[in-house]
Every structure is written in structure tokens, then in C-alpha cells.
Amino acid sequence: MKNLFKYIALILFFAGLLSCEDIFEPIDENRLSPDYVGSDPESAEGILLHAYTGLISHNYFTVAATDDAVNNNLGDEYSRMATGQLSSQYNPAQRWNKYSEIFYINKFIDIVERDSVRWHLNDTVNLLFKERLLGEALALRGIYHFYILQAHAGIGTSGQLLGIPYYEKFLTIDDEFNIPRLSFEATITKIIADLDNAITLLPMDYSDDEVDVLPKHQGYNFGQYVIVNGSQYALRVSGKIARAVKARVELFAASPSYLNGAGHYEKAANIAAELINMVGGVSGLNPNGVEWYLTDANLRGDENLWRSTIEGSGSSWLEEANYPPSLNGSGNINPSHNLVSAFPMANGFPATEANGYDPQNPYDNRDPRLEAFILCNGGSLYSGTNIITGQGGGIDRVDSISEISSRTGYYLKKLLKYNDVRINDDGTVVASRHLDVYLRYTELFLILAEAANEIGGPDYTVEGLSARDIIAAIRERAGITQPDEYLATITSKELMRTLIQNERRLELCFEGHRFWDLRRWGLSLNESASGYFHDGSQYVEIPVVETRDYPVYAKYLPIPNSEILKFSALEQNQGW
């Protein structure tokens, strides 16, 4: 990390800056000097915008490190990690490199606080720009520290629950890099402080409608306010987004592997309830939120609280990676039978034989989300396709000699734009547009459900909302025919906890949450991924398609060993 910091310090965070002695001399390539970048508004803002490029979205490939899927590429880094290769030298899930984004942000904050940039000729508009841009930077600094904390918090060799180093200023090569990790709680406090400070500076939403925005614009000419906080900035961090991230951070802090409550469930619940009530409570749950990724209209819809821009020309990389081989894809992610078994029956009861589940007709009368998210034997992606993963399925079958066929009897369907994308036999493609999603409203509903239940059980209400209300609404939206009947059997905090954990597993599957949820809940990481296929006469389970071989201390991931060797003040997590 020290070399990285030195590199960042020397180049002062913008491309092409030379590190030689004549750095400030004009050169043929017309590269920019530090003084210019620190005074030109577009160049200075570019430092902030760079930080947006490192945001973490739905990293579906991490699912191969869990019990929910395997990768048919046996050299996949997450598969290697899950099958015994995880170490402080090899950790594909490490996020220590996100400190580079934090130093970009701190450099920008330094520029703003020095007041060396004139953002607009009008004094009022200039002040509004300064406030909003500083708010964005503070929010992003909190977000990036949270990314690192999520990956590297843990019980240190001293036996204390530790967080991470927190950097609040831009460091030069002469500054001290060898600083210790804060306690876990102190790190959370720092993250929340950055988010809170951001909230005081940011508009709740970016909008051109005077009725939609908070009274913060009062005292300003609304036309001036819209120049700074209008809809043209709708994908930037807003006050609403900063609040939603706070709810996510507070739930993480409250989780059993960390502070196990300590008042953080209450904070998470209150923040989430406030935001959910802004969209109308449970009635505001987006009806298209189950398949939010499927159409361009849904991509732009209200389900995505925070997202990236939508690709202009489109692509097909996600489909090429995950379509079955018979449709000219690589079939990378193969959902496990473990995950398939977690989907209930159509009436909401668990998929057991006592509740009508038939092992020889395993996909009949099931939760509609199963068909929406996972391509099962005999299923289709689009009209004219019929994917057979059992006997007679050719290249798609489980026991095919092809290296790209399913290993479990299932292929990925969620996230794919299968209504639009075709991969032709000659290698040409019909592409479609995708986007990265950083935070969905459904996650916010699930945060409130989990926190409210942990505070007071299934019927405990926060601003009129209970876990039971939320889970009922989510399951009703999913198409479960009798959501209230099964919910009536959920009479304790423990039963509701299990149900909420399962709903997160289903609703957020393949969006990068399962890997982190198992760790924060302290649940087993070593449930082997299983499969299910038709052998020509009957369905047969494959109990172990791929083992999971994590050490007992792996719920806390390591600090990279290279950093431990360089910095004596850093304390490693136990076991690594």
C-alpha cells in the first residue's frame, strides 16, 4: 500500500503528471500542472468523478464462493478461494486497494476547502456548487471506507474487534503512513460522521421540480438552485443515497459477527423506515422490482435507488459469459441445488414433500422467482429454446464432456437481458443495454425487516412498518399465492430471522450479497454446493458438486500480507 500511496502522491491523482524536476514546465503533450488542476473547475471535478469509477455494484461472480453456485471455470478465483486457497497472500475479495480512491477523494476535498476553484461566476451558485461537491466527496469517502471495513474488519491478534485505518486527509510522501487500525466501533463512527456531514450539504434528490426538493433551496433563487442540484446530476450521490448507505452500514455494524446490536439495529431501522415511508411504505415496493434488469424501462425505473448510467450502445458480455453453451454462451455461473431448494412452494410454504414438493417434478408449483432467476432443466430463456441439463441434453447436460456445460444442472437467468440479446452461431451478437446497480429499494426494505425483527420480533413496528408487513409485501409481489398463510406460522423472532435471511438469499441472489451476509451473520461457510439432474428415468441429486473449505476464522478476511510486512502498526486478523 505504501508504494501505491507514494505513486498517488507523486502524480497528484491525475493522468499524465510527470514526476521529474521540471514538472511545472510546459511540455509538448500539454499535460496539466498541479496548480492548474487545483484551480480549473472541470479538471478539479475530474478528480472527484474518478472516485465514482470504483463503486461496487452487483458483483454476481462472488456467488461462486458461496453455497449458492459454482463456476464451470475451475480456475475461477472465487472458486479457488472457496475450495481452500484463501490466504493473506491470495484473497480475491480483498478491498485494501480501495484506499487509492480515498486518496483521490481527499485530494479533491483539499482543493475544495482551500477555496482555490471558482465553480461559477455567480457567488450564490458558486457556494452551492462548493457545498454539493464537498457533500459528494464526504459521502464517497465514507462509502469507500465501508467497502474496506466490510472486507477486512475482524478480531485482531490482540483479541480485539478491529476496524481499519481511516484517512481523512491527502498524504504526501513525507507524511506518516504507518498508522494502526481503529477499533471497529471507532471506524463505524468515522464512516457515519462522513455520511452525516454529507447529508447536511446534499439535496435529498436531484430534481428540476420545485415541489420535489427539500426546503433547503429557500433563500436561494430556485433557478440558481437547479443549476447545481437539478436532474442532470441524478446519478450522483444525493442525501437520500447517503441515508440509504447509512442504513446499510448500521445493519452491518449490528450484525452478530460484529457489535451484535448495541443500538445499531435501531439506527438502521429508523433510517430505512424514513426512506421507505417517502415512497409510500410497503405500497411503494416497486411491482417490477423482481426483474428490474429485464427491460430498459425497468432499468430506469424506481427500483434502483442508485445506479450507473445505462450503456449507450449496449453489450452482450454478461450473456456471453452465462448463456448455456447451446446458445453460444460460456455457462459460467451454475446455481446450486442448495439455492433452488431455498425457493418455497407457490403458496409460500417451504419446498418439502410434506408441503407438496415432488422430487421427480421438482420445479412444479414453485415460487415464481425460481423460474425468473434460474434456468432449470427443461426451461427456456426465450421463445424457441428448451435447455435440457439432464440425459439427452447434449452440450448443456451436467455430465457433458464440455468444459462449459452446467456442473449442477442449472444455469443463471437473473441479470441477463435474454429478451433482447442473441448470440449467433457465427459469433455475431445482438446486444442490449445494461447498467451497474449500487443500491436497490428492495434491499432497503429487507434492511428494515431484519432490523425491526431483531429489535422486537415479527410485529414490532418502526414508523408503522413491521418485518411481517414487509416480508408479506415482498412475497406477494413475487407471486406467492398465499403469503399470509405461511407467515401466520412465524411467531418468534428466531423464525422470522430465518425467513428474512432466506428472503435476502432469494431476492438479492447473484447481486454480490450472499458472500458478505454469511459472514456478518456468522453462519457456516462450508456447506458444499450440490446439483440435481435427470439421468433419463429420474432426477438424481449430486450431493457434492464442489466442497467449501474455509478455515473457521474465515468469517473475518485477512489484511493483505504485503501490507502487514510493510507497516508494523497494522495488526492482522486472527488465524492469518
Please answer whether residues 334 and 72 qualify as being in contact, where contact means their C-beta atoms are separated by less than 8 angstroms.
yes
Q: Roughly how many angstroms between the first and final C-alpha of the chain, as a whole number?
A: 18
Q: CA 141, 147, 149: angle at the middle one, nearest 5?
A: 100
Kindly report, residue by residue over 506-550, the tens digit of the pLDDT: 999 999 999 999 999 999 999 999 999 999 999 999 999 999 999
- Kindly state the DSSP code that residue 142 receives in the 8-state scheme: H
Kindly report, residue by residue over 345-371, the tens digit of the pLDDT: 999 999 999 999 999 999 999 999 999
| Residue 387 reports pLDDT greater than 80 | yes
Q: φ and ψ at 365, to 5 degrees?
A: 60, 45
Kindly report, residue by residue over 7-42, the tens digit of the pLDDT: 333 333 343 333 334 444 544 455 666 767 767 888
Is 159 exposed, middle or buried, given 0-12, 13-18 or 19+ CB atoms closer than 10 A? Answer: exposed
C-alpha pair distances (Å), 2 with each of 7, 141, 236, 566: 8, 19, 30, 8
CA distance 512 to 95: 14
Residue from 310, 568, 268 nearest 446 by CA? 268
CA distance 315 to 128: 38
Is pTM beyond 0.85? Reply is: yes
Q: CA 100, 104, 110: angle at the middle one, nearest 5?
A: 140
CA distance 125 to 470: 42
Please answer whether residues 73 and 325 qualify as being in contact, where contact means their C-beta atoms are separated by less than 8 angstroms.
no
Element housing 140 (H / E): helix 123-152
Give the model's confidence band at 177: pLDDT under 50 very low, under 70 low, under 90 confident, else very high: confident
Please answer whether residues 46 and 133 qualify as being in contact, where contact means their C-beta atoms are separated by less than 8 angstroms.
no
Kindly report, residue by residue over 23-32, the tens digit of the pLDDT: 445 444 556 6
Q: What does the pLDDT average to over 260-279?
A: 98
Kindly report, residue by residue over 275-329, the tens digit of the pLDDT: 999 999 999 999 999 999 998 888 888 999 999 998 878 889 999 999 999 999 9
C-alpha cell at 247: 442504513
Element housing 199 (H / E): helix 184-201
Q: φ and ψ at 278, to 5 degrees?
A: -65, -25
| Residue 58 reports pLDDT greater than 70 | yes
| Residue 443 reports pLDDT greater than 50 | yes
Kindly report, residue by residue over 187-200, the tens digit of the pLDDT: 999 999 999 999 99
Please answer whether residues 93 and 81 qualify as being in contact, where contact means their C-beta atoms are separated by less than 8 angstroms.
yes
Place of cell 456531514: 197
- Structural fold of domain 2-59+93-259: 1.25.40
- Give the per-residue pLDDT at 7: 37
**DSSP line for 381-447:** SSTT--B--STT-GGGSTT-S-TTS-SSS-EE-TT--TTT-EE-TTS-EE-B----EEEEHHHHHHH
| Residue 206 reports pLDDT greater than 60 | yes
Q: What does the pLDDT average to over 52-66?
A: 94
Kindly report, residue by residue over 460-490, the tens digit of the pLDDT: 999 999 999 999 999 999 999 988 899 999 9
**3-class state of residue 543 by DSSP:** strand
Would you say the C-alpha torsion 486, 490, 496, 502 has a positive or negative sign? Answer: negative
Residue from 28, 6, 10, 27 nearest 19 by CA? 10
Q: φ and ψ at 103, to 5 degrees?
A: -75, -30
Task: Please count the other Cβ atoms lying within 10 Å of the Cβ belonging to residue 24.
Answer: 11
